[in-house]
Structure formats: C-alpha cells, structure tokens
A and B are shown apart, each in its own frame.
Chain A
Amino acid sequence: MASPTSYNTTSKCLHWLTGILVLALFGLGFWMVDLSYYHAWYRTSMELHKSIGVILALLFIWRLVNRLTSTQPSPIAKQAWQKLAAHMTHLMLYVLVFSIFITGYLISTADGRSIEIFELIAIPALIAEGEQQAELAGSIHKWLAYSVIGLVVLHATAALKHHFIDKDVTLSRMWFKSKHN
C-alpha cells in the first residue's frame, strides 16, 4: 500500500490539540507552583492542571493508537541522520509525555487520594508508598516537563526550518489545507 502524502485528519487534530495542551499545562504548572497561599487561583490552578492533565493523557492514548494503526506519510528528509533525528524526537516526545502523566498521577495519589477530573470523575490511587513518593515523583515530573519543552522547541524549529528554508511539505502536510492530495 502506498503511503499517503498527508497525515489523516484525526492525526492532525490530535497533533495540534495535544500540542497546545502540552504547552498550556507547562505554562500553568510553571505559574501555579509559585502562587501565594492567598492567591485566588492557588487551589483552582492545581485542580485545573490535574483535570486537563488527565484529559490530555486520554487524548494521548487515542493519539498513540491512531498513530500505530494508521499509515504514516513517508519521511521527507533524504539524509539518514535527519530521518533518525526526527524519529528519535517523536519517540522521545511520546515517552516523556507519558512519563509526565505517570509521575503527575503519582504525586497526587501518594497518600491514597484519587485524582478528580473537574470534580466529575475520580481516578483512584493505585500506588501510595508515602513520603518519598510525592517528593521523587514531583522532581521527576518537573525535570521531564522541562525536557519536553526542550524537545518541543527542537521539533518546532526543525518543522519551521523545513518549511521556510528547505521549502518542503513537512509542516504543510500536518496542516489542514493540504495541497498535496
């Protein structure tokens, strides 16, 4: 079967939606940890971070399933190292993002409390190993988040380089008005 010239619509939607949410959650997380106790958003920001985080995790599972079950357009890069770099960046983005979900979950559930999605659905704690869990999961969560942002910058810079310098379809085939079909 010939590979398509563009990503399917589900892939595109999930790509941009999860991308925006990753950036939003990073910004929210970065901002909320320094809020003072009496700040109006002190509690809400964290509830929001958890709720959006769980929803993003679900979207990412969908995204992963879609990725594994649909045919991807073939890589544009000619050089082997570019193909490898792109593949590794994509793979690492998935691995890091999923690790962030897990560590985030482990912080909030360290004492057996569940995580709530907008106070509607409660996801129960599975592992509650106490004192060190929240501490360790917390610092891993933070450093993984910084790493993901680093990778996102790399990923976006590469896409822009392909679009503006190499003038190829790397970016446009992920966008909705595809001219290559």
Chain B
Amino acid sequence: MKKVIAGSIFAISAIFANSVQANDYIIDTKGAHASIEFKIKHLGYSWLTGRFNRFDGEFSYDASKPEQAQITVNIDPASIDSNHAERDKHLRSGDFLSVTNHKTSKFVSTQVKDQGNGKLSITGDFTLHGVTKSIEIDAQKVGEGKDPWGGYRVGFTGTTEIALEDFGIKNTLGPDSANVYLSLNIEGIRK
C-alpha cells in the first residue's frame, strides 16, 4: 500500500513536473505585446495594412523540444481595424468577413517542425468566415528570458499567406488582391 501511494505521488509529481516543464505561456494581449496584422494589395499598386485589435491565445514551447510546441489563438474578426471606419464597416459586412454570422476566428496548431536556428514551421487549422483550412505559418523565435518584473517571456514572429476565396470570401478587389498576408507578433508570459 505504501508503495502504491509512493508510486502515485511519484507519478503525480512527475506529471506535475512535466506540465511545468511543458512551459505554458499566455499571449500578452493584456499588455499589448502582441499583434495580428494583415496586408493586401490595393489595385496591385500598393500595400494596405490593418490589424485585428482583439484576440487572445496560449501556447506551450520548450526550446529544447520545439517540435512539441502548440499554439491556439482566438481572434474577434469584428475588431478589424484598417484605420478607416467606413472601410472597416464594409470589411465586417457580408461582402467580406460577415462578422454577425461568423463571430470567431481561430488558429489551432496541429504540427510544428523545427527548421533550426529558432525557425519553426507551424501547421494548423485556421478558421475564418466559418471555413476551416489547414495553413502553414513560418515562425521565428525573436528572444526568450526573464523579464524585469519577475516573469519569464518568449516571443515569436510569424507570417502566412491565405487566399480570400479559400475561406469563402468572394474576391471583388481584383486579381492582385486575391491573397492576404498575415503577420503575427506574439509575446508569451510563462504561466
């Protein structure tokens, strides 16, 4: 009996130790040390940029086992902001994001490949406009370490490219504006 208890305690502490070791982070949206930006060509002549102001997420990352990393990000599509109220209203409408019908957007990683030198290739399911598709994000670790206030942080930057029509958004903006480029800058605070 003692052995069993000791064994269980060992097992539990091992799980506990393991979960702490797993290095779970919460994305610092509170302090706004994270952003989700997009850019799309305007008429094929220039880049239009904007961002999603409201999102949150969590990830786990251990520098020694990058392939076990996982990330989930929830985005509120209604928070799209291209610095132009009339355009944002249009982007939220049925012509584009249809935010009253599709209230959430989400990225959930399914596989992480280590490309060396802090580079990661993150495959995951991206939900936008009610459509879920697998996409790949090229990510790069920016830095990691203690912060000045007793916490521990790690940050990444990542980019990906999606076609509007893949997510059921009719492209009315012309052939040069078929794709949207997303870039994510995230800083995680260790839990």
CA distance A131 to B82 in the complex (A): 11
CA distance A128 to B83 in the complex (A): 12
Q: Name A's interface SS.
A: loop
Measured as residues with beta carbon below 8 angstroms from the partner, the interface class of chain B is 10 to 19
Nearest B residue to A106, CB-CB = B85
> A residues within 8 A CB of B146?
none
> B residues within 8 A CB of A38?
174
With an 8 A cutoff between CB atoms, is B172 at the interface? yes
Chain A contact residues, CB within 8 Å of chain B: 36-38, 107-111, 113, 128, 130-131, 133-135, 138
A112 CB → nearest B CB, Å: 8
Nearest A residue to B81, CB-CB = A131
A37 close to B174 (CB less than 8 A)? yes
> B residues within 8 A CB of A36?
172
Nearest A residue to B177, CB-CB = A37
B92 close to A107 (CB less than 8 A)? no
A-B interface pairs (CB < 8 A), number: 35
With an 8 A cutoff between CB atoms, is B165 at the interface? no
Nearest B residue to A130, CB-CB = B85
A37 close to B85 (CB less than 8 A)? no
**Given A36-B172, A135-B92, A138-B89, are A111 and B78 also a contact pair (CB < 8 Å)?**
no
With an 8 A cutoff between CB atoms, is B30 at the interface? no
Most interface-central of B83, B84, B89 (chain A CB within 10 A): B89
B101 CB → nearest A CB, Å: 14
**Given A36-B172, A37-B173, A138-B89, are A131 and B83 also a contact pair (CB < 8 Å)?**
no
CA distance A138 to B81 in the complex (A): 17
> B residues within 8 A CB of A107?
85-86, 89
Nearest B residue to A46, CB-CB = B86
> A residues within 8 A CB of B79?
131
